[in-house]
Structure 1
Amino acid sequence: MLSQYSYFQAGEMKATALWTYKERADDEIGFWKGDKIQVDRIAPGWWTGSTDGTAKSGFFPGNYVKLDDRPISRFDLDSTEKTDAKELPHSEVMLIQPLAHRQRRFYKRKQDGLNYKDTSYPRVMLLVVGPDGRAELKKEGKLRELSGEIELRGGHGVWKVYATCMEGRGLHLWIHVVLSTLMCQLLEL
Structure 2
Amino acid sequence: MRKFAAVFTLLLPLALSGLSFAETLPPGAPAQDDDLGIEAEIKKEAEKKKKEVRKEDIDPLINMVYVKGGCFMMGDQTGEGDEDERPAHEVCVGDYYMQSTEVTQELFEKVMGYIPAWRYNPKMPRDPKSPVNYVGWAVVQEFIGRLNEITKGYYRLPTEAEWEYAARGGGKSFTWSGTNNEAELGDYAWYEDNTDDM
TM-score scaled to structure 2, two decimals? 0.19
* Larger fraction in strand: 1
Larger RCO (CA within 8 A; separation ≥ 6): 1
* Larger fraction in helix: 2
Higher-Rg structure is: 2
